[in-house]
Structure 1
Amino acid sequence: MVRKPAVAGQFYPGEEQSLRETVAALVPEGEQRHALGVVSPHAGYVYSGAIAGAVFSCVHVPETVVILGPNHQGAGHQAAVYPGRAWETPLGRSEIDAELSRRLVQSCDLLQEDEAAHRFEHSLEVQLPFLQYLNPSLRIVSICLSHARPDELVGLGEQMAEVLREDGREILLVASSDMTHYESAQDAQRKDMAAIDQILALDPVGLYRVVAEQGITMCGVVPTVVMLSACNRLGAKKATLVRYGNSGDVTGDRREVVGYAGLVVE
């Protein structure tokens, strides 16, 4: 089973050459450092691609990447690991790291193999062309997450970290998330910085709490909490905000924007 592109030609170019040129333009040259995790936005590339590109340009993309995304569709299991053989984009096919996927499902209480959650979900797919461009031979594990209690999410991250630690390879965790949706640029930035401060503090429970208490419409708070928890267990020392912006930077309309943030956890 190969997961075919669901949003090629919509969120990003559907033809190989056009997509390759687009991603190349969005990924600036720079020094790449080894990281444990990143937060990257998942809107159409015209809106958030520059922020995603800035994030991925400054980290080393290893042979295996675990992509964690929110479940916008509401389909399938609440913590769904894609069970197939590969994911495909116009840039080519990326194999699933089947052995790592298997060990994660066996060792993590919440995880379950499920294809339905991934069938039309864009939040994971839009990350892949950036990763393929920077490492064409990478393999992936794809995990689509719905809401759960903060203790369950922290526990999932810690269980994942133990599997990754035992594996011993360098593995990057990618949390896919946009920030505040459809508020003024000023309000969005104020709310988003409250959430970003918790990420910079490496505080997954604090992030969950602030998002809930302040009504921040950060669609990827769940994968970000899991990523932070895993990185903490793996020894994270710091997080860095690479770039923040919103859709109004592109459209010029700042009355109702979507916020985007790119962060690196080391």
Structure 2
Amino acid sequence: MSLPEKPKLRRFIAGLPDENDPRFVWLFDQSRLSDRAVRIPQEWLPILEMFDGQRSLRDIQLELMRLSGGTLVPMEWLESITRHLEEALLLESDRFREHFAQVQVRPPACIGVYPPQPQQIHDHLRRQFLRPSGPGVDPDHLARNGTLASTLRGALVPHIDYHRGGHSYAWAYKELIEHACADVFVIFGTAHYSARRFTLTNRDFETPLGLVPTDKDYVQLIAENYGDGLFDDEAAHWPEHSIELQLVFLQYCFPHWPFRIVPILVGSFQDCIDEERVPEEVPDIAQMVAALQVAERESGARVFYLSSGDLAHIGPKFGDPHAVHDDQLNSSRQRDQQLLQHIAAANRHAFFQTLLEERDQRRICGFPPTYTLMAVLEPTRGRLVHYDQYVASNRFESVSFASLVFYKDTIVIASS
């Protein structure tokens, strides 16, 4: 087996102390693209930090000799470490890329946020509809009135965990059960693990409720109309929760509907804030909006758009200097309401302008996916169906979130 010339540890590689011997650490893949782990001594961790793709093994050997005052570090020893990491698929390499190319299904990553068994999931999600602050209806008894003429075409839904915000998901999915009609759900997920602006995958997704097929033809249409780069960080989908938590609700709410998905991770729009540029003026964003609109037209599918995003993130957990206090919560709630008014009015430019004025100091993670949805769908109106703030008991963090639905009404022009 040939070794990488300049070894680089893959992203998502983490270490856990060996419970039987704390002098050792188990290196493992958080994304679960490899199921193998490598056990190393704690003191080797600084050496592995040099596996950055910039240094050859010879460079690493010389650096270690310099740090140790000239003690010779055998090349065979470094090669042995590299070989173990390569065999375990923990390095960025041709071998890992070949392995990843064979993976057809993205497995569940969020079991624990929801139960592992299908009946338990059904019971858990049903409780989100019936719990306090939920819509208070049994989803099994809702009428399904969605038709091809339905004007309900999109929704902003939280991606906070179900324990804290499942009741808000339920408000949005109640509307979908009653009024949505779609062949394809295009899901804009907040990207927590990728620095790329947009990241696609054409792999199917699996949850304990079954396999969710990705519409590969639709994904191909987007890629053809956008250009290169959309799959460069495809592995970022594996640890991501923002799309998976929507899929479980979709499977629960539409158990007999053979829908397909188009999963798109949307990265930061912070440069739009910093440069005070409307997102559509940024070439790659404009390119993606146009590609998505062309893909919908050319696919012939009935498409529903989902933005998986939360609102404000405040408190020391997110970098603020002080514990969350009531005045801060009230102020944040008021500013959230201002944002949501603009979104409900289908005015994405006012939405962006409000974020620009506050320099996105409250870290609205739903800004990029929601703005993208609005730019692509161009809804005629929206409607807020739920809003809430989670506040940790120790006031270390607060996250606000909302469910809001979008309509695209047919505009009839009267003849003279």
> Do these two structures clear the TM 0.5 threshold for a shared fold by scoring above it?
yes
Is contact 1:47–1:246 with CA below 8 Å preserved after alignment?
no
1:21 to 2:123 alignment: yes
Paired residues in the alignment total: 258
Within the candidate set 369, 373, 384, 1:241 is matched to 384
Bigger radius of gyration among the two: 2
Matches within 5 A, 1:13-92: 13-27=115-129, 28=137, 29=139, 30=142, 34=150, 35-59=152-176, 60=180, 62-74=182-194, 77-84=196-203, 86-92=204-210
Q: 1:191 to 1:111 in 2, by over 3 A?
A: farther
1:6 to 2:138 alignment: no
Is contact 2:202–2:215 with CA below 8 Å preserved after alignment?
no
Matches within 5 A, 1:182-193: 182=314, 183=324, 184-193=328-337
- DSSP 3-state at the match of 2:220: helix
Q: 1:111 to 1:57 in 2, by over 3 A?
A: farther
Is contact 2:311–2:400 with CA below 8 Å preserved after alignment?
yes
- DSSP 3-state at the match of 2:365: coil
Question: 1:106 offset after TM fit, Å?
Answer: 1.1
More displaced 10-residue stretch of structure 1: 124-133 or 255-264: 255-264
Letter in 2 for 1:169: A
What is the TM-score when the length of structure 1 is the normalising length?
Answer: 0.88
% identical equivalent positions: 26
Question: 1:205 offset after TM fit, Å?
Answer: 2.8
Question: 1:254 offset after TM fit, Å?
Answer: 7.2
Is contact 1:180–1:258 with CA below 8 Å preserved after alignment?
yes
| Backbone CA RMSD of aligned residues | 2.2
Between 1 and 2, higher relative CO (CA 8 Å, sep ≥ 6) is seen in: 1
1:118 to 2:237 alignment: yes
Is contact 2:181–2:302 with CA below 8 Å preserved after alignment?
no
Look up the match of 1:167. Answer: 299
Question: 1:72 offset after TM fit, Å?
Answer: 1.1
Letter in 2 for 1:3: R
Structure 2: gaps of 5 or more residues: 1-103, 130-136, 273-278, 315-323, 408-416
1:212 to 2:212 alignment: no
- DSSP 3-state at the match of 2:261: strand
Question: 1:256 offset after TM fit, Å?
Answer: 4.3
Letter in 1 for 2:116: G
Give CA deviations for 1:159-193 in whole Å, capped at 9, x if unaligned: 31232133232111100111111354313311211
Question: 1:261 offset after TM fit, Å?
Answer: 0.5
Runs of 4+ in 1 over 4 A off after TM superposition: 30-33, 251-256
Look up the match of 2:320. Answer: none
Question: Matched residues in 1 for 2:164 and 2:355: separation?
Answer: 23
Is contact 1:79–1:146 with CA below 8 Å preserved after alignment?
yes
Within the candidate set 197, 219, 234, 1:101 is matched to 219
Letter in 2 for 1:207: F
1:135 to 2:238 alignment: no
Letter in 2 for 1:194: Q
What is the TM-score when the length of structure 2 is the normalising length?
Answer: 0.58
Give CA deviations for 1:3-58 in whole Å, capped at 9, x if unaligned: 1111211x222322211111123244445553221000001101111111110111
Q: 1:6 to 1:61 in 2, by over 3 A?
A: farther
Letter in 2 for 1:25: R
Look up the match of 1:259. Answer: 400
Question: 1:123 offset after TM fit, Å?
Answer: 1.0
1:231 to 2:377 alignment: yes
Question: Matched residues in 1 for 2:306 and 2:399: separation?
Answer: 20
Letter in 1 for 2:292: M
Q: 1:197 to 1:109 in 2, by over 3 A?
A: farther
Question: 1:111 offset after TM fit, Å?
Answer: 6.4
More displaced 10-residue stretch of structure 1: 115-124 or 150-159: 150-159
